[in-house]
Amino acid sequence: MKPEIMMVFGIFAGFALLEALRTGFLHKKRQTRSDLVVEVVSALWSLGVVQPLIVVSAALLLAWSIPGYQGVLGGVGFLVGFGLLLIFDDFTVYWWHRLAHSVPMLYNLHRPHHNAEYMSVRVTFRNNIFYYAM
Ligand SMILES: [Zn+2]
């Protein structure tokens, strides 16, 4: 498994553990059975299918389009690489999220994320399955 995927999973698992210890993870007031189904399906789809496809397709696209830069960040070390990942990932997520709230078609794909009637790390990946693919 790619380190990027492991980091995303680790961050999610850390927050899920904190939530389980403090407020309960699977049992929320006002949740319905379909909430859990939507959250499990969208999380598995995002983490298991879309994100690995993005990592592989981005690597192939970059290797094809700018082959001279392949491996250019290979020697930066873990902390610098992790910092760059956090900055650029957060930058990308911020602008994508902002666009999703500005474009009606994108908001329709993003709406499930805001429809939950409870706060939980479980809603992190709660979106239409095409939201992350776009
Ligand atoms: Zn939003």
Contact by Cβ (8 Å): 110, 101 = yes
| 98, two tokens | 């902002």
Q: Higher confidence at residue 106 or residue 30?
A: 106
Q: What's the CA-to-centroid distance between 124 and ligand 1, angstroms?
A: 10
Distance 97 CA to ligand 1 centre (A): 6
Tell me what the mean pLDDT of segment 27-31 comes to. Answer: 83
Q: How confident is the model at residue 1 (pLDDT cuts 50, 70, 90)?
A: low
The pTM of this model reads 0.70
Strands, E assignment, 22-100: none
In the reported structure, the alpha carbon of residue 30 is separated from the centroid of ligand 1 by a whole-number distance in angstroms of: 20
Q: What is the mean pLDDT of residues 71-81?
A: 88
DSSP string, the chain: --HHHHHHHHHHHHHHHHHHHHT-SS--TT--HHHHHHHHHHHHHIIIIIHHHHHHHHHHHHHHH-GGGTTTTTTS-HHHHHHHHHHHHHHHHHHHHHHHHHSHHHHHHHHHHHH-SS--GGGGG-S-HHHHH-
pLDDT at 47: 83
Distance CA 73, CA 84 (A): 10
According to the model, what pLDDT value does residue 124 have?
Answer: 84
Query: pLDDT band at residue 56, thresholds of 50, 70 and 90?
Result: very high
- What is the Å distance from ligand 1's center to 94 Cα? 10
Cα 113 to middle of ligand 1, angstroms: 7
Q: Name the residue ranges covered by the structural domains of the chain.
A: 3-133
